[in-house]
């Protein structure tokens, strides 16, 4: 739970800093026309972006808790790690590729370059699907090697963590479909750009989460981990 506490402390620090800015030198009981920082005057980011960031905080809380649970379970005596599926490296590369493709698409959308946007969407979509297929294939390999969900705690956590991450990627594909529909229907460039920016943020986030999980899976240099250094 220490990891959870660190995450929450960081988040609380952000909230306290923000609230401090709202309250410092403000006298709420004074009626005045031009209050400091009238909302509606300052250009605010689109609500969808704010919502995405709030959602990312919630998702982070979810992943942090899963990893905390793993960290607590790890200390117990019966921990026996899995072999390390080699394919994970390739999958990681695919997800990095998808994230880069998304970023490239955002730049294309900012130039309102419709063809590049479509190409970028196809590329990132294929790479992401490749990542998901790769993850399923890893499951298959582990299953064939005799590591089922219930066969050991390490296997349970392997399947659990990859499944939760995979489901979030799958959820991202819904946003990808919506963004693609806009791109192919030829909606106005501003809405395409917003959609792409949201997708890109989410993809980068999922990549960061995956890198964190990947470190958790293979961190046996630091101690016990889900996967040993034996390759599969």
Partner 1 sequence: MATYVAHEESDFAPPAEVGEPELYHPKTFIGKYIWSQDAKVIAIQYAVTAIAIGLVALVFSWLMRLQLGFPGRVGFITPSTYLQLVSMHGMIMVIYLLTALFLGGFGNYLIPLMVGARDMVFPYVNMLSYWLYLLAVLLLVASFFVPGGASGAGWTLYPPQAILDGTPGAHLGIILLLVSLAVFVIGFTMGGLNYVVTVLQARTRGMTMMRLPLTVWGIFMATILALLAFPALFVSAIMMALDLTLGTSFFMPALVSKGQQVSHSGGNPLLFQHLFWFFGHPEVYIVALPAFGIVSDLISTHARKNIFGYRMMVWAILIIGGLSFVVWAHHMFVSGMNPYFGFFFATTTLIIAVPTAIKVYNWVLTLWRGNIHLTVPMLFAIGFIFTFVNGGLTGLFLGNVVVDMPLSDTMFVVAHFHMVMGIAPVLVVFGAIYHWYPKVTGRMLDDTLGKIHFWITFVGTYAIFYPMHYLGFMGVPRRYYAITGTNFIPDSAHSLNAAISIAAFVVGAAQMVFFYNLAASYFRGKAAGGNPWNATTLEWQTPETPPRHGNFGKELPVVYRWAYDYGVPGLKTDFIPQNVPPAEVPAEAWVKAAQPAGA
Could you give the string, one character per residue 191-230, with x where binding to partner 1 holds by CB under 8 A and - elsewhere?
A: ----------------------------------------
Q: How far apart, in whole angstroms, are the C-alpha atoms of residue 95 and residue 110?
A: 23
Of 9 and 229, the one with the shorter C-beta distance to partner 1 is 9
Q: Out of 2, 43, 76, 186, which residue is the one contacting partner 1 (CB under 8 A)?
A: 76
Determine, following the binding rule CB under 8 A, whether residue 11 of this chain makes contact with partner 1: yes
Residue 228 is classified by DSSP as: E
Determine, following the binding rule CB under 8 A, whether residue 177 of this chain makes contact with partner 1: no
Of 54 and 145, the one with the shorter C-beta distance to partner 1 is 54
Q: How far apart, in whole angstroms, are the C-alpha atoms of residue 14 and residue 69?
A: 25
Closest C-alpha to 98, from 63, 67, 66, 133: 133
Q: Which two tokens stand for residue 37?
A: 């920082």
Asked if 87 and 134 touch (Cβ cutoff 8 Å), the reply is yes
Check residue 188 and give left, alpha or beta (phi > 0: left; psi -120 to 50: alpha): beta
Determine, following the binding rule CB under 8 A, whether residue 231 of this chain makes contact with partner 1: no
- The stretch among 137-145, 148-156, 176-184, 200-208 that binds partner 1 (CB under 8 A) is 148-156
Q: How far apart, in whole angstroms, are the C-alpha atoms of residue 54 and residue 30?
A: 32
44-59: b (≥16 Cβ within 10 Å) or e: eeeeeeeebeeebeeb
Of 6 and 136, the one with the shorter C-beta distance to partner 1 is 6
Interacting residues with partner 1 (CB under 8 A): 1, 4-5, 8, 11-12, 15-16, 19, 22-23, 26, 28-41, 44, 47, 50-51, 54-55, 57-58, 61-62, 65-66, 69, 72-73, 76-78, 149-150, 153, 156, 160
């Amino acid at each position: 739970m220490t990891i959870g506490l660190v995450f929450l402390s960081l988040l609380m620090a952000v909230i306290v800093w923000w609230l401090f800015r709202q309250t410092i030198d403000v006298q709420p009981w004074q009626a005045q026309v031009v209050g400091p920082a009238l909302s509606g005057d300052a250009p605010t980011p689109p609500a969808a972006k704010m919502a995405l960031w709030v959602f990312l905080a919630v998702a982070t809380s979810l992943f942090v808790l899963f990893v905390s649970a793993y960290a607590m379970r790890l200390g117990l005596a019966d921990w026996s790690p899995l072999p390390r599926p080699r394919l994970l490296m390739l999958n990681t590369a695919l997800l990095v590729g998808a994230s880069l493709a998304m970023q490239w698409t955002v730049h294309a959308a900012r130039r309102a370059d419709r063809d590049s946007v479509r190409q970028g969407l196809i590329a990132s979509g294929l790479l992401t699907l490749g990542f998901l297929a790769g993850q399923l294939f890893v499951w298959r390999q582990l299953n064939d090697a005799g590591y089922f969900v219930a066969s050991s705690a390490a296997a349970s956590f392997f399947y659990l963590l990859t499944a939760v991450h995979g489901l979030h990627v799958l959820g991202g594909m819904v946003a990808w479909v919506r963004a693609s529909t806009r791109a192919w229907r030829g909606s106005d460039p501003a809405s395409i750009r917003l959609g792409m920016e949201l997708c890109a943020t989410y993809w980068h986030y999922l990549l960061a989460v995956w890198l964190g999980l990947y470190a958790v899976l293979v961190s046996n240099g630091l101690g016990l981990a889900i996967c040993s250094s034996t390759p599969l």
